[in-house]
Structures are given as structure tokens and as C-alpha cells.
Structure 1
Amino acid sequence: MAEQVTMNQDGTAAVESDGVRRRDFINIAAVSFAGVGGASVLIPLITQMAPSKDVLAQASTEVDVSAVQPGQAIKTVWRKQPMFIRNLTPEEISAADKVDVASLRDPQSLADRTLPGKTNWLVTLGVCTHLGCVPLGAAAGEVKGEFGGYFCPCHGSHYDTAARIRKGPAPKNLEVPEYEFLSDTVIKIG
């Protein structure tokens, strides 16, 4: 180690080495102590923001669709919001595919709104994109609107069988959440 001689204020000589000095050790210890203190404050703060178990339980839901016949729709609930699951008939699929997507307010094809190989299953959030009302058309006997899909009674939005907005004040199609098929008859939403 190289040593350096310096003069103190009182005129005496002091020897300093290039190695770790006592002041360096105190600085390292103080920064380490502050880091541990900061972590002990931040960890509980961050973990308290994590979702509770009841919220995590609602993060996804599984729906058995084995009893839903072609042309029928069912209502279910996911995250306290209504969900529509519709089993489209070949005629409804054909009619949805014939629509010029460029002419739609929110241009999406049926293939954009369904999973590959499962184009007969349409899963949408049952909330009108205008002001959040629940459209009619999922239950038997309900008004389905001019395009055979859904009708929002609050302000008159009409959706087609692919749940795309066709008439009325709603700006967008009914939202399609993330979903997957766990089997041929069970859908996991979320």
C-alpha cells in the first residue's frame, strides 16, 4: 500500500493510506442501513396494493356451454359484469361474414372477434359501449334489434349477431374479453 503524508491543521503530520479509511466504512454502513430501512418501508407498501383473495377468485371464470344450442345465447357474470356467450348458427356466421367490414363504425370481422376453429362461439361483455347499459337479446324472447343480435333499450343501439355496432349512439362493438377453451364444452374467461 502506498502511504501519503499530509499536514493536519495543528501542524502535525498525518499518514493516510490508499486503502479503506474509517470514514469510507462509516459511509458504506450508513448507505446500507438506509437501503435496508427503505426496503422495510417499501415492501409492506407494495404488498398491500396486491389484489385480495376474493378479487383473485373473480379474475377468471369457467363456463360450461354444453347445453347451449346453436342460435342460443346465455348470460353469465365475470368480474361483476354481465357476459354474453352465443352459439352462432351457420346462417348467422354467413350473414356476419357477408357484412362489408369497412362500412362498420368499429371495423371488425367475425374472425377478429372469435377464436380460430371456434367461430360459432362468440363471447362478449354484456355492457353497451355507449353509457354502460345491459343490452337485450341474450335471453329467449328478448328484443334482438334490427340486425338480430343485441338491442340496448337505454338509447337504441343495435348490434348484429357478431355483437358489432350497426345503428345507434354506441361508438364501439361489444367488448370481447380474453378467453380460451379448456375443452370442447368449457370456456375460461379472464
Structure 2
Amino acid sequence: MAGRRAKGRREVASVQHSEGDRRDFLYLATGATAAIGAGAAIWPFISQLAPDAGTIAAGAPIEIDLAAIPDGGQIKILWRGKPYFVRSRTEAEIKAAVDVEMSALRDPQPDAARVKEGHAKWLVIAANCTHLGCVPLGNQGDYGGWFCPCHGSHFDTSGRIRKGPAPTNLPVPQYTFISDTRIRITGAAATV
């Protein structure tokens, strides 16, 4: 009988050890499931704190293909929520902009300071009138540049104020030529 008890105890001991392993496994499985569930429940709250794709994209530089803009034509783009003009100037428009007497300008700035060296054909400017922020119309006005119909400001083919209430020229943003037919705008135009 003593042998049976010893044998029975061994069986009980091994059964208890086996039940302990199962209990430990169940605790671990339950804890892991709870942790995954808690993570899944909290994730939407954490992810909503991140900026949206529009905000991330708004700070990125923008590249513009110039090949599609005909001579004398322009495009208007939106970058960082603000409009910009990219204009392909004709030889006559460039000559008119270069030949202006600086004393005739309200905000004197030579054409060469408003375009990139070797790329006088391309003018990139902010598309908001410096008077009250209206968007001027291209290829119009007394000087063939832009005309703001809201308050009557006239800009020449270099985006310089020539007539009307606007106090300063249309600002030029920071941009670089990637190739002869492609630019990258990297910084906003200086505000007035």
C-alpha cells in the first residue's frame, strides 16, 4: 500500500504540474489578448494626433514642368494654400521689363533681380495683389502684365507695381531650376 500511495502521489504531482502549465498558459494568453485589444482600442486616439496628408504635403516643395507653357502664356498654381503665377515671357515682354527707368517705379527693382540668371524668359511670382490680396488677371492692364480689377492696380511684365493702390511689387518665391524645363519652388514669397 505504501507503494501505491507513492505512485499515486507522483501521479497527482505530475497532474498538478500539468495543471500549473495550463493555468500559466491561460494567464499569458488572456494577458496577450487583453494587451492586443487595448492597443487596438487606443490606436485610433493616437493616430488622430498625427498631421493629415494634406498638412504634410503642404510643406513639401513643388516641381513644375515648364514645357507645357507656351511663349507669352502663364499658369496659376496653388502651393501651400497660396496662388503663384509662372509665366513664359516673350522677347518683347522681357525687353519692356528691362528698359524701364528705375525712377519710374514705385518699388524700384530691376528685372534681373526678379528672374534667375540665364532664365529671363521665366517669371515666377506670387499671385496675390500686394494691396488687399486679390488675384490679378494676367496679360492685362496698361503695362501688359497683370491687372487687379478689384482696386485697379497695374503690374508690368516683371510683376512690378506701376499704377494703382498696391504698395509693392508682386513677390518672387524661392525657386531653383532643376533643368531647362523644370523648376522647384522651395520657399514662399516674402510677405509685405
Class of the TM-score when normalised by the shorter of the 2 chains: 0.5 to 0.7
Q: How many residues align?
A: 136
The answer as to 2:185 corresponding to 1:184 is no
Q: Offset of 1:58 from its aligned partner?
A: 1.9
* CA distance in 2 between partners of 1:147 and 1:84 (Å): 17
> Which structure is higher in helix share?
2
1:56 CA drift (Å): 4.2
The equivalent of 1:57 in structure 2 is: 57
Other structure's SS at 1:55 match: helix
2:82 is the alignment partner of 1:86: no
1:83 counterpart letter in structure 2: Y
Aligned equivalents of 1:145, 1:166: Cα separation in 2: 10
Amino acid paired to 2:89: L
How many angstroms does 1:181 deviate by?
0.8
* Residue of structure 1 in register with 2:150 after alignment: 154
Give the unaligned 5+ runs of structure 2: 1-50, 187-192
Report the RMSD for the aligned CA atoms in angstroms.
Answer: 1.7
1:118-133 maps to which residues of 2 (within 5 A)?
A: 118-133=119-134
Instruction: Name the residue aligned to 2:114.
Output: 113
Q: Determine the C-alpha separation between the residues in 1 that align with 2:75 and 2:53.
A: 27
Task: Note closer, same or farther for the CA distance 1:52–1:102 as it changes in structure 2 (3 Å cut).
Answer: farther
Alignment partners' CA distance in 2, 1:53 and 1:114: 32
Report the structure number with the largest CA radius of gyration.
2
Q: Structure 1 stretches of 5 or more lacking a match?
A: 1-50, 139-143
Q: Report the residue type matching 2:185 in the other structure.
A: I
Aligned-pair CA distance for 1:168:
0.1
- Identity within the alignment, %: 53
Alpha-carbon distance in 1 for matches of 2:52, 2:179: 29
Q: How far apart are the structure 2 equivalents of 1:187 and 1:129?
A: 24
1:78 is displaced (CA, Å) by 1.0
Deviations 1:127-159 (A, max 9, x none): 000000000116xxxxx1010000001100000
Q: Distance in 1 between matches of 2:113 and 2:157?
A: 14
Task: Give the structure 2 partner of residue 175 of structure 1.
Answer: 171
Q: Normalising by the residue count of structure 2, what TM-score does the alignment of the two structures yield?
A: 0.67
The corresponding residue for 1:134 is: 135
Query: Aligned equivalents of 2:132 and 2:108: distance in 1?
Result: 20
